[in-house]
Amino acid sequence: MDNLPYGVEHMPVGNDRNLAWRAECGGIDESSHCVMHVFVPAAAQYPCQILLTDYQCPVCVERANVEVHLAAHAYACVLDRRMFSAQRTVESSVVYRLAPSAQLNVKHQVAGSSHAQRSVSVQLIAQQEATIDYTLVICGGGDVTATVELTLSGKASQAMFRLVTVPRHADTITIDTKQCHTEAATTSTLQVRGLVKDAARVHCTGLVRLEATAIGADASQKSTFLLEGSTAQAYARPVLEALTHQVRCAHGSAVGQLDQEQLTYLQMRGLSANSARMVLVYAFLSDGLDDEMAGVVHQALGIDT
């Protein structure tokens, strides 16, 4: 524990075996990109708590790249809240590499200035029996390109990924996801949901690929978007590539509007038209999220408490 990467601090939280690591700039790699590395050792009794926050790198202020390495049987809970406010393109990438039987839980919020153009890349690589639970919420203003890649390279590894987006005004959100199964008995679930209104646009492409060696794999992908307004646009294109028949796959997409009968039902019980709408939108977007990430969605919707 003493030899931590540059810019990473650990602090006791309730118990000296429960470490909260604050991760900041880690120096420059051979590509002149700012990369911060975090190494998580094997878990003892408590998970390792990692907080990724804003930092100002004097060399590459427009990039924020992180690599997190989990040792075998390590357990990490990550809160990623790098709130980019620069009025220019900001590139952010994070790579998680999980050794056998490692566990990872991530809560990732992408937000920033209405003038920023942001590029967010998430790469997850899981070895044998590793487990991933990842929630990504994209809110705030500005155009965002989000790339998500799940690679299950170890037998019986599992991944659950939820992505929620709430674009504003004339924002354009581009989402490109890939689930790749290379070993047997692997499982992945990817869900994308969003509220698209005003002149906002969302483009979502999702690829599920199962190699010939992924016998008994189970992969599912679903993207669902609510449209509000005559100029809002959402495009979803799922793609399936299965190189073996001994798998189970499900993929689909849906784009639509709120159910008028449900709106009427809530209004008949005393809610205003706007309150009824917000109840249904919030329920749709926050489904499956924990309280903390549901609160991020609540704030992004501008719901009064």
pLDDT of residue 44: 59
Domain spans in the chain, listed from the N-terminal domain onward: 8-257, 260-305
pLDDT of residue 39: 83
Q: Give me the sheet containing 248-256, strands edge to edge.
A: 8-13, 15-23, 48-52, 75-80, 103-110, 131-138, 158-165, 187-197, 218-228, 248-256
pLDDT of residue 222: 95
pLDDT of residue 25: 44
pLDDT of residue 133: 98
pLDDT of residue 9: 40
pLDDT of residue 63: 58
SS (H, E, C) 89-144: EEEEEEEEEECCCCEEEEEEEECECCCCEEEEEEEEEECCCCEEEEEEEECCCCEE
Closest CA to 221 of 211, 209, 233: 209
pLDDT of residue 12: 33
pLDDT of residue 57: 52
pLDDT (tens digit, 0 to 9) for every residue of the chain, 305 residues total? 344 443 344 433 333 334 444 444 444 444 445 667 788 888 656 788 888 775 545 455 555 678 889 999 999 999 988 665 555 557 788 999 999 999 999 999 987 666 667 889 999 999 999 999 999 999 877 889 999 999 999 999 999 999 999 998 889 999 999 999 999 999 999 999 999 999 999 999 999 999 999 999 999 999 999 999 889 999 999 999 999 999 999 988 999 999 999 999 999 999 999 999 999 999 999 999 999 999 999 988 987 64
Which are the contacts of 93, defined by CB distance < 8 A and separation ≥ 6?
Answer: 64, 65, 66, 120, 121, 122, 123
